[in-house]
Amino acid sequence: MQIDKKIPDYLTDDFSMYLENMTSLADPENPDLLSTYLDNLFAPLNATPLLFAGMVDQLAMAITTKIRIDSKNLALLDLSIEPTWAEVKTFVGVHADARACITELMNHGEQDLKTAVLLIHFYNGYDATPLKAEVDDFEQVDDYASEDYDENY
């Protein structure tokens, strides 16, 4: 199910990196790869909360399993323009073992934390199903059959 239809412009670059990272670790032959990686990524972040400063895709991956987002209600905000952390944080629940880390991020890395939460929110509602191609009603032009084509060039 797709909650939000379009990734806002202020998130597109970071979302692209986050999506690529999450997708590359979702291995059907090794279904535990992603969850193991995410769990292992949180441990160094918990020890050094500002470890991923400026790397919001990595921060989002590290906190993905440690927060819960009320996406249904967050989607009611106009996310086409970047919200403030105060607007976003009311929709975020934090697992008990991550509270100190998330509090440190709120105090010293609020912008990165907010962006990471929004990345997770949009990823959770992202539908990666490719759109169907439109039928091309035009005849294909055959440049090779053209009399202007010089085969000896």
Global confidence as pTM: 0.79
| 12/143: higher pLDDT | 12
Secondary structure of residue 147 in the 3-state scheme: coil
Report the amino acid identity of residue 52: F
Q: Does residue 131 surpass a pLDDT of 70? A: no
| DSSP helix, strand, coil percent of the chain (3-state; round to 5) | 50, 5, 40
pLDDT in tens, 57-99: 999 999 999 999 999 999 999 999 999 999 999 999 999 999 9
The mean predicted confidence, pLDDT, of the chain is 85
Say which residues have a Cβ less than 8 Å from residue 55's Cβ, sequence separation at least 6: none
Percent share of the chain, pLDDT over 90: 66
User: Which pLDDT band holds residue 4 (cuts at 50, 70, 90)?
Assistant: very low
Residue 142: predicted pLDDT: 54
Q: Retrieve residue 45's tokens.
A: 């972040």
